Amino acid sequence: MASIFKRNAKRLTESQLRREPYWIEYTDQNGKRRRAKGFTSLEATDRKARDLEERARKIRDGLIDPAAEKLAMHGQTPLDEHLDDFEASLENRESTLKHVRLTMTRIRTIVEAAELTSLHQIDCEVIENCLQEHRRKEDLGNRTYNHYLQAFDEFCRWLAKTNRLTLNPISSLARLNNDVDVRHRRRSLSPTEVTKLLESAWNSKQRVQSYNGQLRSLAYFVSYMTGLRQKEMASLTPKSFDLDADQPTVKIAAACSKRRREDTIPLHAELVAVLRPWLKRLKPTEFLFPRFARKKAWLMVKKDLERVGIPYETEAGIADFHAAGRASHITEMLRQGANMVQVMKQARHSDIRMTMRYFKADLNDQVTAIEKLPPPTHPGQHLVSIHCGGERPDVAADDSELQSNAQKERATNPNHAKRCDTRRQKKAGDGDVCRTSPEGWRRRESNPRPAIDSRPLLRV
């Protein structure tokens, strides 16, 4: 039996007691005593107490499914509360602040455009129509469209995982093909173009993004020789390097790495020679490139390329900082003969298909590859066809020389199998001689052809 009472009734005045709500103490379906807040009205609180007891009884008797009731309760909860819980879940996964903000912005954009207020309103067709309308309105590319869909799909998968929905309602929505609508195509630079870029920045007296020419040149050189991303380069300090080891390396902290792991990358000898005197002038915790993650590195590269007459954007794509450094690093390693697995490990990719996207083979790469192909020995210089019947085909001018080579081969290797064409041969009788056989063999009399008796036809 549920009990109804007011807390601290002896300490409150009569006017305060009228404003104080009642409380309900009842036994739930598991036999535990629970407390629930009621109303200021005794009659309304009494009805709620009876409802709680009746609900507990039905759950014990198996008349109500607790999971279905929980789903119904989540369906009545405003969608904004679920979005706040999902945002807290992203922050608990140690996701970057940029990822959390970008994901929630895209999800809330879809929710507002579709005018969703509860979980029951999430429908596959509604979300698809909303995304297509937003794509046409904002002129979004296929890749950006997929990013919006991926963010909302992650939210729906979290709802199903936390039992707020029975399943993901948009799991059947397909992504668009990114290759047919590329809005931001990058091109790698050749070693000659990278050299001109380094010289252009080093000799420049202009500051770009508060970086002088020498510091920009060093940033380009480190990016090209290591393949580090812009944010990873912003985290570099003298403590990140181990130049005195047998194989000098640089470590990238897990908080700055894209895959959220600590990475160790080997260093080129030429890069080590440049780093040694530079790092000695810096403090152990001083950044090599201060606040580099907030800089417009693409603008640095654009101005330094234009100074030496190299276009920033061509039909092949743009040459921003990521292209001039990381993309050129990966492409040149592949051109120099490194296999795909080695380059994938150096680039720290989890999928080899991502590594393949960086390398755009042109006609010169195909010519270089075909020239390295070792040709096999052509068999026509050593083989002779021995014809056992039919007309003899046209032979080359040096046919006599090839036949003499074949006779020498049969002399040295008498068990060598004779080659014969597959054309239909003329039947040989008991006394016939094979015209094309060098030995002129005959059918042995000890092995005559068996005689076959004729059989009468069966009459119907």
| pLDDT tens-digit readout, 179-235 | 777 777 888 898 999 999 999 999 998 999 999 999 999 999 999 998 888 888 999
Q: What per-residue confidence (pLDDT) applies to 442?
A: 53
pLDDT of 58 over the 90 cut: no
- At 434 the pLDDT is 47
Model pLDDT, residue 253: 84
Edge-to-edge strand list for the sheet holding 23-27: 3-5, 23-27, 33-37
- Collapsing DSSP to helix, strand or coil, 283 comes out as coil
The per-residue pLDDT for 457 is 55
Report the sign of the C-alpha dihedral through residues 278, 281, 286, 290, in that order.
Answer: negative
User: What are the Cα distances from residue 386, in Å, to 379, 413, 414, 417, 443?
Assistant: 15, 16, 15, 11, 20
Phi, psi dihedral angles at 23 (to 5 degrees): -125, 150
* Residue 1: pLDDT over 80: no
The structural domains of the chain, with segments of one domain joined by +, span 3-64, 76-180, 191-368
Q: Is the pLDDT of residue 154 over 90?
A: yes
Partners of 34 in the beta sheet?
A: 26
pLDDT of residue 383: 44
CATH of 76-180, one of 3.40.50.300, 3.30.565.10, 1.10.150.130, 1.20.1250.20: 1.10.150.130
pLDDT digits (tens, 9 = 90+) for 408-457: 555 555 554 444 444 444 444 444 444 444 455 555 555 566 655 555 55
Q: Is the pLDDT of residue 384 over 70?
A: no
Give the chain's largest Cα–Cα span: 138
- Between 370 and 382, name the one with better pLDDT: 370
Q: What's residue 361's pLDDT? A: 66
Superfamily for domain range 191-368: Intergrase catalytic core (1.10.443.10)
Percent over 90 (pLDDT), the chain: 28
pLDDT of residue 411: 57
pLDDT for the residue 301: 93
Computed over every residue of the chain, the mean pLDDT equals 80
Q: Do the Cβ atoms of 267 and 252 come closer than 8 Å?
A: no
Q: What pLDDT, on the 0 to 100 scale, is given for residue 389? A: 47
pLDDT recorded at residue 395: 44
